[in-house]
Amino acid sequence: MVRSVGVEEELLLVDATSGEPRALATAVLAAARRESDDRDEVFEAELHRQQVEFATRPQTDMSELAREIDRCRAEASRHAERHGATVAALGTSPLPVSPSLGFDERHRWLEEHFGLTTQEQLTCGCHVHVSVESDEEGVAVLDRVRPWLAVLLALSANSPFWQGQDSGYSSYRNRVWGRWPSAGPVEVFGSADRYHEQVQDMINTGTLLDEGMIYFDARLSHTYPTVEIRVADVCLDSSTTVLVATLVRALVETAARQWQAGLPPPRHRVELLRLASWRAARSGLEGQLLHPLTMRGAPAETVVRALFDHAREALEDSGDLVPAQDALAELLKKGTGARAQRELLARTGNLRDMVTECARRTCGEVRPAAEK
């Protein structure tokens, strides 16, 4: 049976003309709710009012998932257009911004307890949910996908700019997100009981508000019967989102099969996993990554193809191998969202025009060369 997949994407709300982030989440969400019933509500508020999130329904067919992502992006853009804005699938705001927190009690608690860390978290990620049969299977998956998560970050890297400057990173969002005390890679858990015990121990410290603040790169969802892979930037092109979701499902299925066969998880220490994440955030697909099997440097393309080899059987069984290979070839040719942003800046000459062009690209609108 093919596992179902759902995707959550966080999008920046930006002025349609200037590209500057705008605190319009309340208005955009109100417009979305007027057009939907409770069962069809896909949009949610996020930490800051300059962003909005949507969640797809679970899908087993990646073509259906792709259509739903495109539909949700287009709907978010349409609701924002009523207020002179649009949405941009960017991991961070390239333009300087003073983020505005949401109004609810949870957001205020975060601001009170985490100060500037909360204020600076105007970042947009992509979370992929994949169905699992039980918490025991889910934790077995978490233990076995750990070394591969940094590769997914490299594929999705889409946040090179921060407060008007080039950060020197491909995913600066990852570096900002890592300021939360519960974020990042973790050690092997070994069992569902140990996972839940560690989560409860963390909450019992009083440092975290609740289970929703368990910001591991991959975790058991506390809402759905899924594992939730949280390491990726939101992707500029929806085709990259689908590729990441495809690879996540294949990694989950591969890990579950390894567990069922009695194969132990890799025992890479969390210190090495943190280095792998840093390397992926720094260079994306433009330089070297740490190879998940050896934890030694290797060309990014070599490492990505190692992921495909690792998950090949699962990709073949789901019918995803050829589409994923085609999507990867296109991504390696054109580069990540981080590369696209830098190339757009070089062509347009300013961040404002670059952001508005990325907003058009978010919904699949790419202007002909003569108009650029």
Residue 41's pLDDT is 74
Would residue 124 count as lying in a domain?
yes
Residue 21 pairs in a beta bridge with: 14
Would residue 372 count as lying in a domain?
no
Q: Is the distance from CB of 282 to CB of 170 less than 8 angstroms?
A: yes
| Residue 150 structural domain | 5-367
For the chain, the farthest-separated pair of C-alpha atoms sits apart, in whole angstroms, at: 60
Say whether pLDDT at 372 is over 50: no
State the CATH number of the domain containing residue 290. Answer: 3.30.590.20
pTM greater than 0.85: yes
- The total of structural domains in the chain comes to 1
pLDDT digits 0-9 by tens, 227-258: 999 999 999 999 999 999 999 999 999 999 99
Q: Among positive and negative, which fits the CA dihedral 112, 117, 120, 126?
A: negative
Q: What's the start-to-end Cα distance of the chain, in Å?
A: 47
- Tokens representing 371? 């108009």
Residue 39's pLDDT is 55
* Residue 218 Cα distances to 129, 145, 148, angstroms: 10, 9, 11
Output 196-201 pairs: Cβ under 8 A, ≥24 positions apart: 196/135
Say whether pLDDT at 347 is over 60: yes
Q: Three-state SS for 226?
A: strand
Supply φ then ψ for residue 49, to 5 degrees: -80, -5
pLDDT digits 0-9 by tens, 46-85: 999 999 999 999 999 999 999 999 999 999 999 999 999 9
Any idea which residue has 């999705």 for tokens? 156
Nearest residue to 259 via CA among 131, 136, 129: 136
pLDDT digits 0-9 by tens, 84-93: 999 999 999 9
DSSP string, 286-324: SSEEE-TTT-SEEEHHHHHHHHHHHHHHHHHHHT-HHHH
Residue 366's pLDDT is 54
Distance CA 204, CA 227 (A): 23
Residue 41's Cβ-count burial label (10 Å; 0-12, 13-18, 19+) is middle
